[in-house]
Amino acid sequence: MSDVISHYINGKIMAGASGRRGDIYNPAIGEVIRQVDFADASEVQTAVDAAQAAFPGWAANPPLRRARVMFRMKELLERNIDALARLVSEEHGKTVEDAKGSITRGIEVVECACGIPHLLKGEFTEDVGTGVDSYSMRQPLGVVAGITPFNFPAMIPLWMSPIAMACGNTFILKPSEKDPSFAMRLAELYKEAGLPDGVFNVVHGDKDAVNGILSNPGIQAVSFVGATATAEYIYHTGVAHNKRVQALGGAKNHMVIMPDADMSQVTDAIMGAGYGSAGERCMAISVAVAVGDHVADDLVKRLMPRVQALKVGPGSDPDTEMGPLVSKVHYDKVMGYIDAGIREGAELALDGRELTLQGYENGYFMGGSIFDRVTTDMSIYKEEIFGPVLSVVRAPDYGTAAKMVSDHEYGNGAAIFTRDGDTARHFVNSTQTGMVGVNVPIPVPMAFHSFGGWKRSLFGDHHMHGPEGVRFYTKMKAVTSRWPGGIREGADFNIPTMG
């Protein structure tokens, strides 16, 4: 990997021209390992020009031919998954196995894109009127863009680009400047899979690059995943520039634990869903709502030794269960939330702030923390921490717990652990979240369904990948046809009817 990550435009690496760069850190050692060029609006325009030039030829390919590129891409990703996972781990900090899992979830969307000939099929009605047929088709938008977050540098680009390009669009990716190297390998693999030059492009950068994408009239749609404040900005700015936008924001995912739940299963679920990837997941469980004090007491008692025993270390160590946070800025932010929780009166049952690792003293490591007796007015309950910090909230009954979930401003995901079917069914049907798990802590839908939250977890009308992804990246055209033999003589000045 080069010491400087540059842009990828029209099938070639293109050095940055803006004169601005950012540092890329290995968070396990807290040191700069390479730099990345930052694009300005003119470099975004260069990528748009390449994508626009490539669009007519790519869109003219039958969907079956576009699918064949995706079949080859799937094979290439699977063949290179170990090296790709190490690259993600090096820049993000997550364990290599966790990185492999995230790439696998991305490959599932590539598999879904392989079925694009079926997904693009329209509808047909014969004889909507005498001798008149009507049918619909879905056609690509043109140039579309994806702006992706640091926590999933592989999975989210793979949730966006395969569906977008299989639908016939050309794509511009703006990855996080914190861990951009996977995006470059992705571009190289797409080319190896047979994707024509200009169909997939990568521009790096910060807010200047984002604004260049949002304001560029040649880009028809923008997909985003990241923090809620940024998602809201991207949605309103993109829409103001007449773009179609899906902007997935933050989350505060609750797990409701009923008195009849299997507590061993609950403990295992929280360990993985709360502390996996150091809590840097939009689907992480960050709030455990225990129904009854005895459930809460039992939960904290079970969790304490498990969290204390977490194997924290560099993501490259195969024994590591939790790696570092992504950056010093984010590390300080999470530490600040722990301080705030103490000030607000929550009970810090387990403090992960004092963790140090020999040989990695400059890395951004912290242990897992547990707050008990958290209340809904506290910042650690209301705001997304995005770190290895679990808040335990005590609810007197199911109704209080369920209302708590639905009243939160975020509506990304929620889970309930119970043996009771009536309770589970009520929770599934009534909770105001876009994704719900029953005895499943991280209810991320498979690629042939669609991913997305409600309320301030999603701005826009479409969820990501699956059928919703196809709808987002295409526009519908309705056709009504009649052939000369069925046309009557004379003009008709009334609104057409099909009698």
pLDDT digits (tens, 9 = 90+) for 382-440: 999 999 999 999 999 999 999 999 999 999 999 999 999 999 999 999 999 999 999 99
Cα(155)–Cα(303) distance, integer angstroms: 29
Name which of 31-35, 205-209, 289-293, 441-445 the model is least confident about: 441-445
**Largest Cα–Cα distance of the chain, in whole Å?**
90
Q: What DSSP character marks residue 415?
A: E
Q: What DSSP character marks residue 485?
A: G
Mean pLDDT of 332-344: 98
pLDDT digits (tens, 9 = 90+) for 229-278: 999 999 999 999 999 999 999 999 999 999 999 999 999 999 999 999 99
Return all residues near 400 (Cβ < 8 A) that are at least 6 apart.
none
Q: What are the two backbone dihedrals, phi and then psi, of residue 310, each rounded to the nearest 5 degrees? A: -55, 135
Residue 499, pLDDT score: 57
Cα(34)–Cα(25) distance, integer angstroms: 7
Give kind and range of the element (H or E) at residue 58: helix 41-60
Place of tokens 């008195």: 259
For residue 222, the SS3 value is: strand
pLDDT-derived band at 344 (thresholds 50, 70, 90) equals very high
Burial-class residue 485 by CB neighbours within 10 Å (0-12, 13-18, 19+). exposed
**Percent of the chain residues past pLDDT 90, beyond the cut:** 94
For residue 65, the SS3 value is: helix
Residue 291 in contact with residue 257, Cβ under 8 Å? Answer: yes
pLDDT-derived band at 498 (thresholds 50, 70, 90) equals low
pLDDT digits (tens, 9 = 90+) for 353-366: 989 899 999 999 99
- Hey, which residues does 413 pair with through a beta bridge? 435
Query: May I ask the CATH class of domain 253-438?
Result: alpha beta
Mean pLDDT of 278-299: 97
Task: Tell me the average pLDDT of the chain.
Answer: 96
Cα(472)–Cα(141) distance, integer angstroms: 9
Neighbours of 247 (CB within 10 A): 25
Residue 368, pLDDT score: 98
Q: Where are the domains of the chain?
A: 4-249+457-479, 253-438
Residue 61, pLDDT score: 97
In this predicted structure, the answer to whether residue 100 has a pLDDT above a threshold of 70 is yes
Residue 494, pLDDT score: 72
In this predicted structure, the answer to whether residue 496 has a pLDDT above a threshold of 80 is no
* Nearest CA-CA partner of 360 in 330, 308, 305, 316: 316
For residue 239, the SS3 value is: helix
**Percent of the chain residues past pLDDT 70, beyond the cut:** 98
Cα(152)–Cα(386) distance, integer angstroms: 13
**pTM (two decimals):** 0.95
Q: At what angle do helices 155-166 and 63-79 cross, to 10 degrees?
A: 160
DSSP 256-282: EE-TTS-HHHHHHHHHHHHHGGGG--T
pLDDT-derived band at 130 (thresholds 50, 70, 90) equals confident
Cα(471)–Cα(464) distance, integer angstroms: 10
Q: Where are the beta strands (DSSP E) in 110-243?
A: 124-129, 132-140, 143-147, 170-174, 200-202, 219-225
pLDDT digits (tens, 9 = 90+) for 8-25: 999 999 999 999 999 999
Mean pLDDT of 190-219: 98
Cα(266)–Cα(44) distance, integer angstroms: 47
Residue 239 carries which side chain, given as an amino acid letter?
Answer: V
Q: Tell me which residues are annotated as active site.
A: 282
Write the secondary structure of 357-395 as one string of H (helix), E (strand) and C (coil): CCCCCCCCCCCCEEEECCCCCCHHHHCCCCCCEEEEEEE
Residue 165 in contact with residue 199, Cβ under 8 Å? Answer: yes
Cα(85)–Cα(107) distance, integer angstroms: 13
Q: 4-249+457-479 has which fold?
A: Aldehyde Dehydrogenase; Chain A, domain 1 (3.40.605)
Residue-wise burial string across 401-428, b where 16 or more C-beta atoms lie within 10 A, e elsewhere: bbebbbebebbbbbbbbbeeeebbeebe
In this predicted structure, the answer to whether residue 480 has a pLDDT above a threshold of 70 is yes
In this predicted structure, the answer to whether residue 456 has a pLDDT above a threshold of 80 is yes
Which tokens belong to 269?
């679920």
Residue 486, pLDDT score: 60
Give kind and range of the element (H or E) at residue 31: strand 31-37
* Nearest CA-CA partner of 325 in 395, 392, 255, 277: 277
Residue 167 in contact with residue 116, Cβ under 8 Å? Answer: yes
Give kind and range of the element (H or E) at residue 474: strand 474-482
Cα(266)–Cα(235) distance, integer angstroms: 36
